[in-house]
Amino acid sequence: MAIYNAKEKTIDCKIVYYGPGRGGKTTNLDHLYQSLKKYTTGEMVSIDTKGDRTLFFDFVPMGLGKIGGCEVRVQLFTVPGQVRYNTTRKQVLKDVDGLVFVADSLEVQKRDNVWSLRNLQENLAEQNKSIYKIPLIVQYNKRDLGKEGIPIMPLKMMDRHLNSRLKATSFPASALNGNGVVATLRECLIQTLRSLHKELGWAKQEVSNGKQ
């Protein structure tokens, strides 16, 4: 949950990039960090491993300026996709405000995509959060590989397997060349801030009712 500091009029929120290992989560953040550098307020941190590029997490602190009289600050995180790092994924998911699920378009990754999405749902449920209610964007990454003759899944098939029940906003993308990367984040920010605005509105109403 976002941290609201009434005295300093700041809101700190957290967006997590989730998905199967080697699906392009870290590459998304790489591109965002380079292309939106004027909005960042710190350095990008990453840990590379042989088995999975991100062992713990990456984050890009971003300042969005003032919205509704408050300075909004966003931290972007990724999680390790490999099965054995589920404890780390749970830790990174704590207090998440918005999500980007990065699905791998390669045909060989079909099962891993489904497993990772189910894992996300289970880990959110442990924190009493619903995958159907939290701001969530689905990104179909690596669409560029089809032009190189590499077997990728049609978008309609991916939507059927991953998004038929969620009905989340989705974007085709190539994190490697940046196509769809900024658009994905922009929509996630819009939905996340809209959700936080409602939460803060409820909080104000509760405070008002308590004073009466």
More confident residue, 45 or 77: 77
Single-letter amino acid code for the residue at 25: K
More confident residue, 59 or 144: 144
Is 0.85 topped by the overall pTM?
A: yes
Helix axes 110-126, 155-162, angle to 10 degrees: 30
CA triplet 30, 166, 73: central angle to 5 degrees? 40
Assigned architecture for domain 3-211: 3-Layer(aba) Sandwich (3.40)
**Residue 23: other Cβ atoms inside 10 A:** 27
Interior/surface letters 85-122, b for 16+ CB within 10 angstroms, e for the rest? beebbbebbeebbbbbbbbbbbeebbebbeebbebbee
In angstroms, the CA 94 to CA 1 distance is: 8
Q: Where are the domains of the chain?
A: 3-211
- Percentage of the chain with pLDDT > 90? 64
Q: List strand residue ranges (DSSP E) for 41-187, in order.
A: 59-67, 70-78, 98-104, 136-141, 169-172
When the pLDDT of each residue in the chain is averaged and rounded to a whole number, the result is 88
pLDDT value for 30: 92
Reference 132, options 164, 177, 95; nearest CA is: 164
